[in-house]
Amino acid sequence: MTRPHEGPIPAGDSPAMPGTKKDLKFWLILLSLCLCMFVSALDFTGLSTALPVISNDLRGGDFAWVGTAYAISATAVLPLTGGFAEIFGRRATMVITLLLFLLGSALCGAAQHMNWLIAARVVQGLGGGGLLSVPSIIVSDLVALHERGAYQSMFGLTWAFASAIAPLVAGALAQHGQWRWFFYMNLPISGAALVAVLVFVTLPTPPGTFMEKLLRIDWIGNLIIVGSTTSLIIGLTWGGVNFAWGSAQVLVPLILGILGLVAFIVYEGLVPKHPLVPWTILHNLTSLSGFLQTFFHPVVTVAVMYYLPAYYQACKDASPIRSAVLMLSMALVTSPTTIIGSVSVNVTQKYRPQLWIAWVIYVAGIGSLISIHADSSLALSVGLTVLVAFGSGIIYTGVYYPVLAPLPVSQNAAAISFLSFLRTFAGVWGIAIGATILQNELSRRLPDAFLAEIAAGNTGSASSSAQLAYSIIPIIRTLPEPLKHEVRVAFADGVSRIWIVMTALGAAGLASSFLMRDVPMQKIVDPKWVLENKAASTSDESVRVDAPAALPKEVA
């Protein structure tokens, strides 16, 4: 058996290293890509605070599918974005994703009933998924890996800022009956990004007719990944919420989804000439370590972002907007640490020490959340999230380096698309695992009389027991003492169990980081994607590349 050698990758006879000087056009491109990331992050992280109002206005009970529909379409399309970017070009792929996102946003804002909104969120997710990966692919074309950190950190900063303000914006608009503007405000921002991409992102268009390009797409692989991802996410979303985890409605899609993902990986390695996920990006321990870290990190982070606000609302009588304000500490710490981590990689040309330190702090932070109980002070819970945020910011941007360092630059698109897929897919696991733990703990810890009252109030609802965790939050503040205290204690103890499991998963992420080897970072970019107006100039060292990166050497 052979696998690529993990070491410096030859770059041809006389590669020219890109310099650090960037012109105005480069910064305009980067700004347009940050705008794309911003609108995608807004919808991905902010809608939950507005959902109760939206559900009431549209008279629909399936509000959970508003989020699920977006997650399914965004996750399923991510592996395909890398293939489209290689076959049709970066700019064309970016334009398509922006147009889909614009269309989906307009349809969401105009929705007249819940089914309309859910269908519109599918369209929006198709565009939003591409907005998560294509900007990073374009930056990888413009900046060599060894100096990419400072620019990549701007995406992390953009995501952190959008995640911080999104719940506040959505909650405020919904509170004033203007939730439609949460979708409509995407139109001018995305429109500006679209114009900027058309004008400034002048990367080459791959040769070939439209029909030839269509035939190069791995349609069968895409069908398998879309079907299996959809099935698995449906099972994870329904499990413990709509149906019991042991029910056929949950087990069947989960099993089909897992088998489908296995079949996809096998198929990709054996059949297509142009696979969505080439086996070569998984053939070395360093890249594999990066992908594993990419998966474990969002599982834990999304759980914190999802269930810590629930703790504030259930145990501290916080409103949805107040709980979002209390979570701002995470964004305020995550934003600068994404920059600190990336800049340190640029300066030291090392990425392993930063990731190891970040994982240790991150796991310690998650573990410290276990100590929070119903009567803990707000200062304690907010303060402990600082540790989580510090480690999370460095990990978020740091995982790119072990993934990409051992690979030839020609595989950037496939690797980044798969990384984005894992990051999005893992978030669903974080929500599902937390929901199951909290549901089971509340069923066991809440007073029997209170459980009976809740069940009686939800008679006829198929999901009454499964929706227990969130159905009781608005009720808790109205309960008389000592029942209110008993329920608050039960909820806090249930959330504490989530942190125990998340600490273990964070420790798994830390363990996977020790698989990394010290692979020097690339000092070249792929010459196929040099900006068109610079391609003819060999005097501009900011973009010049003389030869493509060779494939890694293989050793027995």
388-429 pLDDT per residue, tens: 999 998 998 899 899 999 988 888 888 888 898 888 888 888
Give the pLDDT confidence score for residue 168 in this predicted structure.
81
In tens, the pLDDT along 322-337 reads: 887 888 888 788 888 8
Distance, in Å, from the CA atom of 523 to the CA atom of 461, rounded to the nearest integer, reads 59
Residue 553 has pLDDT above 80, yes or no: no
Question: So what's the pLDDT on residue 463?
Answer: 40
For residue 21, count CB atoms less than 10 angstroms from its CB and return exposed for 0-12, middle for 13-18, buried for 19 or more. Answer: exposed
In this prediction, what percent of the chain has a pLDDT beyond 90? Answer: 21
Tell me what pLDDT residue 16 has. 39
Alpha-carbon span 108 to 121, nearest angstrom:
7
The string over 41-77, giving b where at least 16 C-beta atoms fall within 10 Å of a residue's C-beta and e elsewhere, is bbbbbbbbbbbebbbebbebeebbbbbbbbbbbbbbb
Give the three-state DSSP class for 227.
helix
Interatomic CA distance for residues 310 and 308, integer angstroms: 5
- pLDDT of 114 > 60? The answer is yes
Is 544:538 a contact under the CB 8 Å cutoff?
yes
pLDDT at 348 over 80: yes
The reported pLDDT for the residue numbered 368 is: 95
Mean pLDDT within 120-132: 89
Looking at residue 548, its pLDDT comes to: 38
pLDDT class of 541 with cuts at 50, 70, 90: very low
Burial class (CB in 10 A: 0-12, 13-18, 19+), 1: exposed
CA neighbor of 152 nearest in space, from 331, 359, 403: 403
Q: How confident is the model at residue 62 (pLDDT cuts 50, 70, 90)?
A: low
Q: Share the mean pLDDT of the chain.
A: 81
Average pLDDT value for residue range 146-169: 80
Q: Is the pLDDT of residue 307 over 90?
A: no
Q: Please give the Cα distance from 32 to 21 (Å, whole number).
A: 19
Q: Can you tell me which residue has the tokens 């020097």?
A: 520
Q: Is 334 exposed, middle or buried (0-12, 13-18, 19+ CB in 10 A)?
A: buried
CA 182, CA 163: separation in Å to the nearest integer? Answer: 14
15 upstream amide cis, omega within 30 of 0:
no
Q: Which one has a higher pLDDT value, 320 or 429? A: 429
Beta strands 3-4 and 554-555 are antiparallel
Answer whether 0.85 is exceeded by the pTM.
no
What are the pLDDT digits (tens) for 421-465? Answer: 888 888 888 887 887 788 788 878 888 777 776 666 554 443 434
Closest of 361, 366, 363, 364 to residue 340, by C-alpha: 361
Is pLDDT at 343 greater than 80 in this prediction? yes
Q: Which pLDDT tens digit goes with each residue over 3-20?
A: 444 444 433 333 434 445
pLDDT of residue 497: 93
pLDDT: is 101 or 13 the higher one?
101
The pLDDT score that the predictor gives to residue 5 is 42
**CB 467, CB 241: distance < 8 Å:** yes
